[in-house]
Amino acid sequence: MTTTSDRTAAQPTAAETPEAPETDRLTGPAFVRDAAAAPEALAAPAAPPRPRRVPVGRPDADGAPRVDVPALHHLLLGRWPQWRQAARDRAADPDFWKDESLSMAEHRERTLEQLRRLAQEGSHQVWLAFPERLGGGEAPGANLAGFEELTVADPSLQIKAGVQWGLFASAILHLGTPEQQDRWLPGAMDLSVPGAFAMTETGHGSDVAAIGTTATYDPQTQEFVIHTPFRAAWKDYLGNAAAHATAATVFAQLVTNGVNHGVHCFYVPVRDAGTMEFLPGVGGEDDGLKGGLRGVDNGRLHFTRVRVPRENLLARYGQVAEDGTYTSSIDSPGRRFFTMLGSLVQGRVSLDGAASVASKLGLAIAVRYGAERRQFTGASPVEEVVLLDYATHRRRLFPRIAETYAIHFAHDGLLDLFDEVFSGAGDTPENREDLETMAAALKATSTDFALTTLQECREACGGAGFLTENRITSLRHDMDVYATFEGDNTVLLQLVAKRLVGDYARQLGKQVRSGQGMARFVVDQAVDRVLHRTPLKRAAQVLGDVAGGAAEHLLDAATQRELLADRVATKVEEAALALRPAQKADPVTAQRLFDDNQVALVDAARSHAELVRWEAFTAALAKVEDPGTRTVLTWLRDVYALTVIERDLAWFLLHGRLSTQRGRAVAPALEALLARLRPHVLDLVDAWGYGPDHLRAKIASGAEKQRQDEARAYYARQRAEGAAPVSEKALRKQERAARR
């Protein structure tokens, strides 16, 4: 685990407006792709079985659509169903389950042993991303599809596996030469060399480009001298660093012949493999008890003039000759920096998937409990009401199920794009930029969503949700750090906004250079203000609402896309125009302008992520063959759209995108959809495919139904036998009636 707040650079400045493609490839066909299966180098496991299901007896109303749960489950398994299902089967093995009774030290050792078992298994799923010549599968997408499912077993296992194979080994793979890969990858792959990924520093998380650790080349000995000159330069929060790592991939400022060539990565031994004592010049500390992930041995490392051979510079993008001459295939230091760090984007991609898994687990537990738990009498004086039959309970859980589906489908698109880039099938600069942007946008928003969802699930389960045996609080604790490692969420959204503003600036620049472009642009802006920001647009909406119904308009897919896409475009436009003067301003003024618009930039990026998810959900509907399933999923997509619109309703009203009448229709339309989904909600969570061995929560095991049935039978028997005591309230009512 690394808690680097943003592994790609400092916060973007207002004056930076990089060029971008002419078309919006982030929400179009280039991102929402057909998941055509690709051959895998390793033999894939057998086809996945049908999902485990909990019998729940829930007849639908006559004529109502039904969800084909097995077919939907297969669709949700995605492009690599065998590898994803194999990982879930592994997560159902008790040997991989999180043991809440363990101490921190015991949990760490158990997690290490679990990793060793993963490395020894015949399928070597954890090796899928690595070269075939070393026993891997060269199947990066299949690798991540399985890797993120380790969250089901224990998030500590997922993160420690990510440290070893997704960070330490991947740094060697993506930043090293083939000779360096052959030298160091076998030990990293089979875990004979546990490793740490030493990028984050105590004093620099977000701003990786400004890290303090140096690697100064000494031509006399042909060695690099690795040094942390002050306390803030210590490498911090590093998984495997506290106890298990014998080597580390260390990021440092490369200095040779008096010139700093920026951040590069070095392979550095840190402990004696026999004694596990630090090597000379290397020191460290244990980060100690954390808020979660206690099975990961996070710690600090520092270096006092530690010498490593010249060949230990991972030299794919930068080389130093014996005499200290530096060369690189990438001339621009900035582009070289972003290329090196961009090659490690898989951490963000996998966290987006892991956040989706955690949300599904929490919601499956809460929904299954809510379908059985009864509380308060309603229409019947003797029958208590099932929690899911309350509008408030539907409101707190069902929209989150809809958003989780949207997150899932968007993540599938992200996995496709990741595989296209890292398999080499579509490794273009444009695709890499799209991947970096989308990974940042989706990771930042899905991890935040997972935290709020798990808290809502905890509260929806009452006191039972607070018990560790029901798992939700434990998941919440382990997921907490996901919001800041592999990129602090707020900083990542700024990165996304920078790309969006850059795209807009390029389009504007093309219009200006066309001669009549600026005049046309000014006219378009004026028309937009007249149409959307005056009563004219709202009056047209009111007339339409009277004729066809406000709610019906909101359930139209074209209307939803128009609203969500226009919101993104307008927010980006407003931010870009506000920042435009910064391009020619002095640094102080430019920074002030950026600061003034920072919140708006983050808001625009978040809106963009929501649009991407709507697009992915809508594209997925076309792949659903069963009419009943497609109908229910369309309702679910509409719930997601209305939830997003409702969250930002003030914006739509203030900008004239919705009339007051149509704005008032959002909540009732949403409530009607939630009621319509009530008979199908258990099918929707069953389709995720997580059974009792995955959830491992007593309140989701059917035990609550048994308790409720026992209690209902007891009271029914009392009533039938005439043995039920008369309540004081009923007695007084009888007395008042007699007096009258």
Segment 255-265 shows an average pLDDT of: 97
pLDDT level of residue 727 (50, 70, 90 thresholds):
confident
Q: Between 15 and 479, where is the model more confident?
A: 479
pLDDT level of residue 205 (50, 70, 90 thresholds):
confident
Segment 575-581 shows an average pLDDT of: 92
Segment 217-246 shows an average pLDDT of: 98
Chain mean pLDDT for the chain: 88
pLDDT of residue 734: 86
- The DSSP secondary structure of 294-325, one letter per residue, reads TTS--EEEEESSEEEEGGGB--SS-EE-TT--
Task: Write phi, then psi, for 670 (nearest 5 degrees).
Answer: -65, -45
Q: Worst-scoring range by mean pLDDT, 23-27, 173-177, 221-225?
A: 23-27
The helix (run of H) or strand (run of E) holding residue 180 is helix 178-189
Q: Between 517 and 393, where is the model more confident?
A: 393
Question: Number of C-alpha atoms within 13 angstroms, CB side, residue 694?
Answer: 28
pLDDT level of residue 485 (50, 70, 90 thresholds):
confident
Chain-centroid distance, C-alpha 438: 11
Helical H segments across 580-626, by residue range: 587-621
Strand intervals (E) in 601-681: none
Segment 226-236 shows an average pLDDT of: 97
pLDDT of residue 547: 40
Residues 6+ apart with CB under 8 A from 171: 197, 249, 265, 314, 344
Place of tokens 């007695």: 731
Proportion of the chain above pLDDT 70, given as a percent? 86
pLDDT of residue 83: 94
Q: Is 428 exposed, middle or buried (0-12, 13-18, 19+ CB in 10 A)?
A: exposed
3-state secondary structure of 413: helix
pLDDT at 8 over 80: no
Task: State which amino acid sits at residue 373.
Answer: R
pLDDT of residue 383: 86
pTM over 0.85: yes
pLDDT level of residue 360 (50, 70, 90 thresholds):
very high
Extract the tokens encoding 338: 């972003």
Whole-number Cα distances in Å, 517 to 81, 154, 509, 511, 578 = 49, 56, 8, 4, 19
Place of tokens 């992200």: 414
Extract the tokens encoding 81: 């169903």
Handedness of CA 317, 322, 326, 329 (dihedral sign): negative
Segment 587-591 shows an average pLDDT of: 92
Q: Between 468 and 16, where is the model more confident?
A: 468
pLDDT of residue 64: 84
pLDDT level of residue 221 (50, 70, 90 thresholds):
very high
Q: Worst-scoring range by mean pLDDT, 189-193, 543-547, 567-571, 658-662?
A: 543-547
Task: State which amino acid sits at residue 442.
Answer: L
Whole-number Cα distances in Å, 663 to 460, 527, 539, 546 = 28, 23, 13, 14
pLDDT at 39 over 80: no
In order of their start, the domains of the chain are 490-686 (1.20.140.10), 702-739 (no CATH)
The helix (run of H) or strand (run of E) holding residue 529 is helix 517-532
pLDDT at 60 over 80: no
